[in-house]
Structure 1
Amino acid sequence: MPETATPPDSSPQPIVVGVDGSQTSYQAVAWAAAEAAARGWPLHVVVAFGVQPSHEPWTARGVAEHEAVRDEARRVLAEAARIAHRVAPEDTISLTTEAVDELVLPTLIERSARARMMVVGNRGRGAIRRALLGSVSAGLARRSHCPVAIVHEEPDIGRNAADGPVVVGVDGSQNSLPAVRMAFEEASQRKAPLVAVHAWSDTSGFDLEVVGWEAIRQSEDVLLAENLAGFAEEFPDVSVERHVRCDTPVRTLLDFADGAQLLVVGSHGRGGFDSMVLGSVSAALLHAATCPVLVVRHQPVPR
């Protein structure tokens, strides 16, 4: 049962951040608090400390251990609240917390149905030893009902946020369009430039014929421009840079994400057909990128 009440369905949709007591999860809290304060959204912090059910009866030792984990969950929430209010003072953010004696991944997936955005760290084994957020970040990105931000442990999270661009991967498919829209929204909100990247080949580029590359590049650039045209008209305040590379999407996006404040990608691309499958590009970026990665499903929750 929750230690504190879950925000009612009638409440404004919050940013929900999952914590486990690890440094990376606290970094996710700091990032989520800054996002919530900037947008005037509520922030809800969740720690899930449940274990797989067992047919064996609880022993006195087991009950004591369970209570110790519950107490640790409360301490993790208190620390998360302290970090959130250090980033966003109490009068600038609406903050609620919740400790849940349930499995972490199902808990976060369920909370995502009523959230604007989910935020977790990319890895970590924290004080809540049975709730390893690093092991569920990809699972949440795969099955969340709303966009998911994966935050990496960087000592100076504000450095990139101050002056870096928002980077978005565009593959030309319908699946990538929600990610493009959200990237424009993020860039507009942050008053940051948008770097739109299209890597049209799944090869390294070193084994391709040089002859004809310029014509191919121009054709792919036209495709990229067509994918951005409507959004550029809707968000005239966002300056856009277009880049076409003959290289693997992962390597290309990592190059441009170096120094970015946010990388936005779709949950799956041209070959994606199952809403439960996280694309290979998105999955690789969750762990390899150093900036926060925002994964947007091709059918996001209506806002």
Structure 2
Amino acid sequence: MSTVVVGFDGSEQARRAVLWGAEEAGRTGADLRVVHAVRAPLPEPVFTPMSVPVREFVSEETLSRAAEDELAGLARELRAARPDLRLETRVRVGRAADVLAGEPGDVLVLGSSGRTGIAGMVLGSTTAELVAAGGRPVVVTRTGPLDGRVVVGVDGSDISAEAIAHAFSYAERHGRQLLAVHAFNDAGWAELPEQDVDHVRADLAKLLDDQLAPHRSRHPGVHVAQEVAFNAPAHALLQAADGAALLVVGSHGRGAVKRAILGSTSHAVLHHAPCTVAVVHRR
């Protein structure tokens, strides 16, 4: 049985991620596990009437109890809306990125930033680290239309094929149209005669069609559109994602030691996409 894991910290972004995860679990028949990581913060100074600063400690036990209460309330809301949902909530002590990275599951769903995020930051540090870690698909939820199309970036690589498979499956489950985008960013194309550009475009369209063909046969009910863009991949994908419900991209995982590193396209998409983004890694 598959499991959708959602990271939760009480923020509005995390609540949005839980709702997205619940919808996905309901459609796929998966279990939903909501995980709240707690870690006692550094003590903060509290000033006494004599203006002598003393340190006030908040224990991990206190934080855990508060997290359990918050999750219990969230679970009641979810079960009231979805009585058949197989739901589990967990409180874990530790650094959020480490806790969630070690939580078993088939897909990880996160808010774009959390309760402790710095104002103005589009992507929280925990989310960025977990997206870059590799392994299972990571979904970063955002506000945006829920009934828009699905957009997937295609570049001919093995990981791109996995992203295509993920996008087709999601589009079929949700009854969405799919737009596959291949971006050609060779600076030399601008110097080519128009006739040669047309030939290049036709060749790339054929390559794109070949990459989509096996997925089309497995998902015949999905309506697919194709686009060859003479543009930087991130820019082409962000343009295509306008009005989309989900943008799917592939990314080569770099392992736990270097999991703070993201590729340039994934980095740009995650920080600027107007919709929810799914990052698919090589398994």
What is the TM-score normalised by the length of structure 1?
A: 0.78
Give yes or no for the alignment of 1:266 onto 2:250.
yes
Match of 1:294 in 2: 278
**What whole-Å deviation, never above 9, does each CA across 1:225-253 have from its counterpart, x for those lacking one?**
11111111111111110100001111111
Over 3 Å counting, the alpha-carbon distance change for 1:285 and 1:204 in structure 2 is farther
Gaps of 5+ in 1: 1-11, 54-58, 128-132
Q: 1:232 aligns with which of 200, 213, 216?
A: 216
Give yes or no for the alignment of 1:76 onto 2:70.
yes
Match of 2:98 in 1: 106
Distance 2:77 2:247 in 1: 24
**What whole-Å deviation, never above 9, does each CA across 1:176-233 have from its counterpart, x for those lacking one?**
111111111111111211110001116698x655532211111111111111111111
Give yes or no for the alignment of 1:151 onto 2:135.
no
Match of 1:130 in 2: none
Give yes or no for the alignment of 1:24 onto 2:3.
no
Match of 2:162 in 1: 178
Distance 1:44 1:95 in 2: 6
Letter in 2 for 1:24: Q
Cα shift at 1:81: 2.1
Distance 2:272 2:191 in 1: 26
Match of 1:281 in 2: 265
**What whole-Å deviation, never above 9, does each CA across 1:87-145 have from its counterpart, x for those lacking one?**
x42x220111011111111111111xx31210000112259xxxxx9211121112243
Over 3 Å counting, the alpha-carbon distance change for 1:255 and 1:68 in structure 2 is same
Classify the secondary structure of the residue corresponding to 2:243.
coil
Give yes or no for the alignment of 1:94 onto 2:86.
yes
In proportion to residue count, which structure has more strand?
2
Question: How many pairs does the alignment contain?
Answer: 263
Deviation >4 Å, runs of 4+:
202-205, 207-210, 274-277
Letter in 2 for 1:14: T
Over 3 Å counting, the alpha-carbon distance change for 1:203 and 1:109 in structure 2 is farther
What is the TM-score normalised by the length of structure 2?
A: 0.84
Give yes or no for the alignment of 1:42 onto 2:31.
yes
Distance 2:86 2:95 in 1: 26
Letter in 1 for 2:106: R
Q: What is the Cα-based RMSD across aligned positions, in Å?
A: 2.7
Distance 2:127 2:272 in 1: 13
Tell whether the 8 Å contact from 1:167 to 1:260 is kept in structure 2 after alignment: yes
Tell whether the 8 Å contact from 1:125 to 1:134 is kept in structure 2 after alignment: no
Cα shift at 1:75: 3.4
Over 3 Å counting, the alpha-carbon distance change for 1:52 and 1:68 in structure 2 is closer
Cα shift at 1:13: 2.8
Aligned pairs for 1:123-202 within 5 A: 123-125=113-115, 134-152=124-142, 154=143, 160-162=145-147, 164-201=148-185
Cα shift at 1:298: 1.9
Letter in 2 for 1:77: L
Classify the secondary structure of the residue corresponding to 2:247.
strand
Distance 1:148 1:116 in 2: 9
Distance 1:83 1:288 in 2: 31
Letter in 1 for 2:127: S
